[in-house]
C-alpha cells in the first residue's frame, strides 16, 4: 500500500540482496519509495530489482562494498543525481567471514599446536577478525556518514541499523561478529544523539534467529534436520521456531514513519521470538 509520507522518497538499503533486507526493500517499494539496492553481488540485486519492478515499484541495483568509502560516495552521488536525496537509510550489510568461527565454544589445547586444524581464538587470524569488525561496524558507519550528509542537508530523515542477538549476549564461536554487533547498539545510541539537531532519527532492529543463506548451514544438517546448534537455539526461543523475514516489516515501518515513531530515537528493538527473555532454565 502506498504511503503518503514515503511515496516518491528515496530509500537506500545496504545488504539488500540478503533474505531479510530483500523483504524489507520490497515493502519500501510497495509503499511508493524509490529503493536503491546496495550490496556486493550484483546478480542478486538485479534479480531483486526485477522483482520490485514487476510489482510496479522503482529500484536501482548497485554493486558496492560498504567498507569502501569511495565506492559508497560514488553510489550516493549516482542516486542523488538520478532520484534526489536519501530520506531513509537501512544499514543491513554485515555478516561473518570464513575463518572467524572457532571449532569449539571453549579453549582446546590443540589450538596451541603448529599446523592444527582446530580453529580457536589463540591461533586465530586477527586480520580476518579485523575485516569482520570492519564489515559490521565500519560498514555501518560509512553509509551513515555519507548518506547522513544528504539527510542533514535536506531536512532530516531516518537511519535504521541492524544489530543482533549477539549484541546482547556473545554467542559461542563467533567473537568478532558478537563484538561488532554489540558495538552497533552503542553506535546507534551515540549517532542518535549526535544527529538529533539535524532532524535525523537513528534506531536499530535486532533480529533473532532467522534462516538465511549464511545461517542455514549452522542451523540445519544437510538432510534438513536441525543441527545441534539449531536445536539449542530453539530450546532458548519461546516461540519454538525461527523467524520469517516478513516479520521484520512491522517493526521497520513503525520506526521509519514519523507519524508513529517521530519521538523515537536511539533504541534497538529485538524481534526474536522471546530469545532474550529466556534464561534457558
Active site residues: 177
Which residues on adjacent β-strands are paired with residue 38? 14, 62
Question: What are the cell numbers at 179?
Answer: 563484538
Q: How many CB atoms lie within 10 A of CB 261?
A: 17
CA distance readout (Å), 32 to 3, 178, 184, 198: 7, 35, 29, 25
CA 165 vs. chain centroid, Å, equals 12
Q: What are phi and psi of 108, to 5 degrees?
A: -125, 135
Question: What are the cell numbers at 96?
Answer: 561473518
Residue closest to 192 by CA, chosen among 183, 184, 202, 182? 202
Residue closest to 94 by CA, chosen among 187, 161, 12, 147? 161
CA distance readout (Å), 252 to 57, 64, 91, 149: 19, 23, 12, 22
Interacting residues of 34 by C-beta distance below 8 A, sequence separation 6+: 8, 9, 10, 11, 58, 59, 60, 83
Whole-angstrom distance, CA of residue 203 vs CA of residue 222: 37
Amino acid at each position: 500500500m502506498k504511503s503518503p509520507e514515503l511515496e516518491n522518497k528515496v530509500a537506500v538499503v545496504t545488504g539488500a540482496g540478503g533474505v531479510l533486507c530483500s523483504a524489507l526493500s520490497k515493502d519500501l517499494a510497495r509503499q511508493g519509495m524509490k529503493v536503491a539496492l546496495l550490496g556486493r553481488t550484483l546478480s542478486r540485486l538485479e534479480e531483486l530489482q526485477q522483482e520490485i519492478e514487476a510489482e510496479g515499484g522503482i529500484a536501482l541495483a548497485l554493486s558496492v562494498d560498504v567498507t569502501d568509502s569511495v565506492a559508497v560516495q560514488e553510489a550516493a552521488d549516482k542516486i542523488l543525481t538520478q532520484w534526489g536525496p536519501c530520506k531513509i537509510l537501512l544499514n543491513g550489510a554485515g555478516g561473518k567471514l570464513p575463518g572467524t568461527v572457532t571449532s569449539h565454544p571453549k579453549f582446546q589445547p590443540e589450538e596451541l599446536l603448529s599446523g592444527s586444524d582446530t580453529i580457536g581464538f589463540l591461533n586465530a587470524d586477527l586480520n580476518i577478525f579485523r575485516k569482520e569488525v570492519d564489515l559490521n561496524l565500519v560498514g555501518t558507519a560509512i553509509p551513515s556518514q555519507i548518506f547522513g550528509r544528504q539527510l542533514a542537508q535536506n531536512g532530516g530523515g531516518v537511519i535504521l541499523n541492524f544489530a543482533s542477538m549477539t549484541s546482547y549476549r556473545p554467542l559461542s564461536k563467533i567473537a568478532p561478529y558478537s563484538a561488532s554487533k554489540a558495538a552497533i547498539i552503542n553506535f546507534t545510541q551515540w549517532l542518535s544523539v549526535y544527529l538529533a539537531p539535524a532532524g535525523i532519527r537513528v534506531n536499530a532492529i535486532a533480529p533473532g534467529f532467522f534462516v538465511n543463506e549464511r545461517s542455514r548451514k549452522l542451523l540445519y544438517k544437510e538432510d534438513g534436520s536441525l543441527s545441534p546448534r539449531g536445536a539449542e537455539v530453539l530450546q532458548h526461543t519461546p516461540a519454538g521456531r525461527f523467524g520469517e523475514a516478513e516479520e521484520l516489516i512491522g517493526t521497520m515501518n513503525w520506526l521509519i514513519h514519523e507519524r508513529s515513531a517521530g519521538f523515537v530515537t536511539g533504541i534497538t528493538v529485538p524481534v526474536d521470538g522471546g530469545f532474550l527473555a529466556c534464561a534457558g532454565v
